[in-house]
Amino acid sequence: MKAKQPTDQALQSKAMDNTLPDGKYLTCPKWGYSEREVVIEKGLLSLVDDGQFKFHQVHFFEVNNILKALPL
């Protein structure tokens, strides 16, 4: 298993303040390790799988860390 990437503290701070801009991000849960791509659009967060929104997750940033911003 590869090592967990560090959280991007600047992006994490914006997420906690609800000021994170719409975009695509690489995230992982605080406990354990499973990177996943997410899209934030109009304050809603969705996991990305082949460009499709699969579901919305409430209070996402209370349990996840942002690793980095990704190109759209």
What is the rounded CA–CA span in Å between residue 37 and residue 3? 17
Q: What is the pLDDT of residue 11?
A: 92
Q: What is the pLDDT of residue 38?
A: 86
The residues near 57 (Cβ < 8 Å, ≥ 6 apart) are 45, 46, 47
Q: Token pair 């690489």 is at which residue?
A: 26
Q: Please say if the pLDDT value at position 1 is more than 60.
A: no
Q: Please say if the pLDDT value at position 36 is more than 90.
A: no
Token duo for residue 32: 């354990």
Q: Residue 11: what residue type?
A: L
Confidence (pTM): 0.76
Token duo for residue 65: 């860390």
Q: What is the pLDDT of residue 58?
A: 61
Token duo for residue 21: 């801009």
| pLDDT mean over 14-25 | 87
Q: What is the pLDDT of residue 68?
A: 93
